[in-house]
Every structure is written in C-alpha cells, then in structure tokens.
Amino acid sequence: MPVKSSYHDQENIFSFWPRHNETILKRLESKDAWLSTRRGIEFSRAKDALEHEMTLNIGPQHPATHGVLRCMVKLDGERIEKCVLDIGYLHRGVEKLAESKTYQEFMPYTDRMDYLAPYANNVAWCMAVEKLANVEVPERAQWIRMIMCELARISSHLLWLGVGLMDAGAVSVFLWTFQGREDLYSIFDEVSGARFTVSHSRIGGLATDLSSKAIDMIRDFAIRYEEVIKGWQKLLNRNRIWIDRNKDVGTVSADEAIALGLTGPNLRGSGVPYDIRTFEPYLKYDEVDFIIPLREEGDCLARYHIRVEEMLESIKIIHQCLDRLPEGPIRADDAKKTYPSKNEVYYSMEGMIHDFMYTETGIAPPEGVAAYHAIESPKGELGFYLESDGTGCPWRARINAPSFTNLQGLESMMEGHPVADIVVLIGSIDPVMGEADK
C-alpha cells in the first residue's frame, strides 16, 4: 500500500522521523550539565547578546565528523554545555547478517567495518573462528598476518594524522600521508589483489603467499617511512599551532578512561597500559621486541604522540617479521577446516569436492560452544564473540567494535570545550563510523 509522502512538504521536511528527533532533543534538555559540579567550570551567565544558550545540530553529513556522526550540542555562548551523540546512520546490521552466512562468507563484511584497516579486521574474524573451531595456523601465515596487521595500523594512523591535521587547518600533511597510504595500497594490491577491501586472510591461514616483489615493497616501505614519520615528528612535536590546538583539550584521567571503557590509543594516552598485543599475546607478538607507547596527560596531544610512536613501533615489528619469516605452508592442511590449495582443486576430484563443500557449508565448530577473541586493531580492542550451534553459520556473532566504545567516551569529553574543539576532539578519538554503527 503506497503511503502518502510528506517528504516534499516544506513544513515537514525536517520531521522525517519525527519521534527520533523529538527524543534526542528531550534527552538533551533533560541531561544534567554536570560540568559545573564535576570539573569546576563556571558558566558565564552574563546578559551579553552573544552568550545566549543555543541548541545546535552538527552532522550527520558534516565533513568534520569523519563519516556520519551526529552531535546535538547545547551551547552557552561558544562553550558546549552539554552534548548528545546520535549514531546509527550507517547501521547495516552486520551482526544479524552474520547469522545467515557461513564463517568464511562473512569475512568480506569485516572489510567494510573499519575500512581504514581492513586487514586487521579480517585477521580478527579469522582468529575468532579459529579459536571457536580449534584450527591451528601454520607459522608462516602467522608471521605474514602480523606484517599485514602492522601495515594496516600504519595505514589507519596515517589517515588519522592527515585528516586530524586538516581539521586543525594544515592541508599539506594530508597530501603527504595520503602518499604513504597510496604506497600501502600498492602493497596490499600486490599481496591480495585488492587495494582497499583486501579479504586476504582465510580461516586457517591465508589465501596466497607473499611474492618476492611484495616482500621487497614492504621492506622498502618500512625503510623509507621510518625517516618520513620522524620528519613529521620534527614538524609537529614542537609546532606551536598544533600544540595549542591539542594541549589540555579533552583531558581524561586514567580512572575516567577505564570507567568510560575507552580502548586503544585513547586509553593508553591516559596512562593505562592495556594493549592486547601484550595483555593476551596473539600471533607471534610475544616473540618480537617492541614497546607500547604510553602517556599520562590524557589530552589530545598525548593521543597524537601515542599514535605517531605506534607507527614507528609497527615499522620495528615489520622489520623483525621480515627477518624471521619462516618457510612453509600458508594454510592448514585440513579439508574440513580450511580451503584446499588451488592446485588440489584444479587437479584432483577430492580437492574440488572439498572446495565445493567448504564454500557450501564451510567450517562447522562444535555444537553449543562460545569463544571470544580480541586483537589490538589500530583503533583499540577489536573482539569477536561467537556462539556456534554446530552448523556452518554462527548462531550469534557479536562484534566488540573499538570505535563504538570510544565514541561513548567522546560525549563527556566534549562538554566544556568551545565549538571549535569538536573537530579536533573527534579527530583525536579516531572513530570510524562503519565500525561504530555495525
């Protein structure tokens, strides 16, 4: 039955989902402006024409919100008195979709969650399934996964750095970091055949081995970019404008950060040394030598330092991985649990049957079991909680997305700052809406 549209009605154009806007506004009005009691910030109540209270809606289409984040803020003059965030504009229901896909079939969806570091998401998903179904991954595949995860971390942090500086008004750094991302795209292209959504990891290993050209490209990148990143540090670490924009903005203490559930660089910027790579070492992180950058200030500048230092640590890890890369298979040899090799598929009947069965039914973990596996993705702890009913599709696939958790902390971080700091704060939290909205 066609429903009469009120969409083009000029009066009703802003009440497309009227109840939704109404509830957000109601929440904003009823929210306790806790700043004056909690942080001791006194609001000026002068009868100045420019210091009136105002309700402002920023996003979801605003370019500074890095996607489709909607901020409803109540301003007192130029200062944010209270703020309500609204997300869900990119909600695709991937958790629901996972329930009707086989485990391997779901992997391309993880590419599209945190689309700035797709390889890390692939690995997170594969490792969760491997834990659930108890699949052992060959050594070489684990080392390659580590290399690619660290490249994904650099790729994500490069975008954060460029866009963060562009938010603060410096456009040229954005062009430089995108040059770096371009080089990384070429590496991903050489490794997996895709530049952006790589889908290269497989349950039980990898799709293809690294070519010698790819190894050269990775080594070249690691050597060149160590100098480049140090050059950016020289440019920014003592840059007066950059420091003034970031210092003491969005300060979160360690206790507050734990209470708010912040994760990743945002948590470590407040002095909490929680990194899954050392907390619960996965892959071969317990065998390589690296440090976890830590700051105690908890402001945007601390988070900047952490991310840039993390990139340098990633390069250190990549060098060690390349030096220690062992020879051997890249995928477990078990037709019930992983895809057979292409040679087997093309030249043997059994291989072809196994390939068909794996695509059709896939891996089937034991009935009624559950497992949680987390990795340190560029944004923080990315965990998958899976429950199996014994078939080839998960009964429940829960995604613990770091951007979602971090955005929750942003709401209280913004309160008390001038409007101009919103863009810097969003940038320093580094959310990806594809992941936060699931």
Partner 1 sequence: MPDSLNFHFTPVDKARPDEQNAHAKASTDVTDVIKAIQERFPEAVTEVVVYAGEHTVFIAGEVFLNVCTALKEELGFTYLVDLAGVDRFQEDAPRYEVYYCFVNLQAGKRLRIKVRVEEDDAVLPSITGLFKAADWNERECFDMLGIRFEGHPDLRRMFMPEDFTYHPQRKEFPLLGIPGSLPLPPRTPEGELTMDPFAAARSGSPAKSYQEPAENDEN
d(CA 314, CA 10): 53
Q: Is 287 in the site for partner 1 (CB under 8 A)?
A: no
- Quote the distance between the C-alpha of residue 196 and its chain's center: 15
- Nearer residue to partner 1 within complex by CB, 189 or 411: 411
Q: Is 258 in the site for partner 1 (CB under 8 A)?
A: yes
Report the Cα–Cα distance between both ends of the chain, in Å, rounded: 31
Q: How far apart are CA 379 and CA 114, in angstroms?
A: 9
8 A C-beta contact, residue 378 and residue 151: no
What is d(CA 227, CA 340) in angstroms, rounded to the nearest whole number? 42
Query: How many alpha carbons lie under 13 Å from residue 308 in its C-beta half-sphere?
Result: 24
| Selected range binding partner 1 among 19-27, 58-66, 213-221, 420-428, rule: CB under 8 A | 19-27
215 binds partner 1 (CB under 8 A): no
* Of 383, 416, 431, 434, the one binding partner 1 by CB under 8 A: 383
Alpha carbons 372 and 403: distance in angstroms, whole number: 18
Q: Does 381 bind partner 1 (CB under 8 A)?
A: yes
Q: Amino acid identity of 370?
A: A
Nearer to partner 1, 180 or 392 (CB): 392
Q: Which two tokens stand for residue 25?
A: 């506004």
Q: Based on CB atoms, which residue is closest to partner 1, 37 or 44?
A: 37
Residue 336 lies near partner 1 (rule: CB under 8 A): yes
Among 96, 224, 230, 234, binds partner 1 (CB under 8 A): 96
Q: How far is the CB of 368 from partner 1 (least distance, A)?
A: 6
Which CB, 172 or 361, lies closer to partner 1? 361
Token duo for residue 189 = 């292209």
Q: Does 130 bind partner 1 (CB under 8 A)?
A: yes
Question: Cβ neighbours of residue 33 under 8 Å, at least 6 residues apart?
Answer: 43, 74, 81, 82, 415
34: contact with partner 1 by CB under 8 A: no
Q: How far is CA 414 from CA 43, 174, 418, in A?
A: 15, 24, 8
Distance of alpha carbon 285 from alpha carbon 127, whole angstroms: 14
Q: Which is nearer to partner 1, 23 or 348 (CB)?
A: 23
Tokens of 97: 């979709």
**Tokens 């700052």, located at residue:** 417
Residues that bind partner 1 (rule: CB under 8 A) add up to a total of: 74
Q: If binding is defined by CB under 8 A, does position 284 make contact with partner 1? A: no
Nearest approach in angstroms of CB 194 to partner 1 is: 26
Residue in 282, 290, 304, 339 binding partner 1, rule: CB under 8 A: 282
150 lines the binding site for partner 1 (CB under 8 A): no
Applying CB under 8 A, among 9, 12, 16, 324 the residue interacting with partner 1 is 16
The region of 106-114, 115-123, 135-143, 315-323 touching partner 1 under the rule CB under 8 A is 135-143
